[in-house]
Amino acid sequence: MTTVAVVGLGKIGLPLAAQYAGKGMRVIGCDVDQAVVDAVNQGQAHIREEPGLEEAVASAVRAGRLSASADTRSAVGEADVVVVIVPLIVAAADAIDYSNVDAATRAVGRSLRRGALVVYETTLPVGTTRHRLAPMLEEESGLAAGTGFHLAFSPERVYAGRIFEDLRRYPKIVGGVDEASTAAAVDFYRSALDAEVWAVANTETAEFAKLAETTYRDVNIALANQLALYAASRDVDVAEAFKAANSQPFSHLHRPSLGVGGHCIPVYPRFLLGDATNGELSLVREGRQTNDRMAEVGIGRLERLLGGLEGKHVLVLGASYREDVKELAFSTVFPIVELLHRGGAQVTVVDPLFEPVELRGLKAEVARDAGAVAGKHVDAVVVQAWHSEFRDLDWSRFEGLKVVLDGRGSLDADTVRRAGATYVAIGTPEG
């Protein structure tokens, strides 16, 4: 039986561990958080929002195929395969903090077995696996990458809320530091997943593939935002125009919005820009700048429609970076709330996925239920993440509602207008 050590039991690492155990492998999940380790060993998933995860963890633990440990070195010492999926932190100033990945790498290297396979799934800048992580593994283990142990990169390509589905759906991209490493990683994933496994030339190609696919989405959203702003002054119905354009199979315009959040889309283009030189990737840079300023564009529009923000009560629906996912990473809610405060508005944030204490960093009034605000005076509503719980919202219950800013293009404009409010979104005419 293949023994796999999964280093990092977060939102992706724990589903991966459960997936491998479900394929009959013996899996040891490693995490520095003892509470996470204890929960897994009791057959419990500390992540509650992922469909099928709680059942998969409980089943794997009962069968004796999944356990957890805070001792990475000990777990790696038993493993034929080590999958590293720990977070790479990016600060607001775009500085990359490798400390988690470096610490995990050194722990892996100290007890790495000869002939073992190490695969990184954490998204990394191009060249990181070969030029940063391989030397650490070699230094700690005394083994050479490619001969003493196999080393590969295989990007995670899953979406929170449907991870098991995506593991079946999308081809698994694999690139090693040499041909033998690529082959070893391909063999592992073919036994661990139901999806196709695609071998690419090397680790750099696999690293770049992930950055390219996420950067495509960022630039696409920036294009949608720029087109929407252009169309707003030219009597164009942007939603209808995009739908019409996308009826042609080579057009894939995304929705315009107040910005881009999450661990991936607003972050990974910066990995490319970090070592771009001599004007390289100017389109990527401009796309990032466009998306970063959309919150300011939207709140500026709201301010004009209200005749100023000073003293106005503004309700923000959704703190998450996207609908139906409990995650704040790079969420547009932060610049939105800051801009509203700067204008003098009184701000209330509603998100049913979070306890109010979890949103205290917003420095705004927080509620879990929009019903708690209905019946009170609200001058404007900003839709930041259109959770399922909001979809039956009765706009007429908000006393004094003047404007609804649809930051995600999720609403039926006529429903808002029937409640007596002005509907506005990125791309609706100023007049």
Instruction: To the nearest 10°, report the CA torsion of 272, 275, 280, 283.
Output: 30
73: its two tokens: 């070195």
Q: Which amino acid is at 107?
A: A
Using the CB atoms, write b or e for 248-260: b if 16+ within 10 Å: eeeeebbbbbbbb
Query: Are the CB atoms for 356 and 366 separated by under 8 Å?
Result: yes
- Give CA 174 to chain center in angstroms: 21
Rounded distance between C-alpha atoms, residue 80 and residue 4, angstroms? 6
CA distance 157 to 144: 29
Specify the residue for token string 């790498």: 105
**Cα–Cα distance for residue pair 416/402, rounded to 1 Å:** 10
DSSP 84-110: E--PPEE-TT--EE-HHHHHHHHHHHH
Catalytic residue from among 264, 312, 326, 363 = 264
Quick check: is 264 catalytic?
Answer: yes
Residues 365 and 383: their CA atoms lie apart, in Å, by 16
The 8-class DSSP code of residue 316 comes to E
Cα distance between residue 207 and residue 120, in whole Å: 10
- Cα 188 to the center of its chain, rounded Å: 26
Annotated active-site residue 402? The verdict is no
Distance CA 259, CA 174 (A): 31
Q: Which of 210, 243, 312, 376 is an active site residue?
A: 210
The closest of 218, 217, 241 to 231, measured between CA atoms, is: 241
DSSP state of 362: G
Residues 6+ apart with CB under 8 A from 180: 146, 150
Residues annotated as catalytic (active site), given as ranges:
210, 264
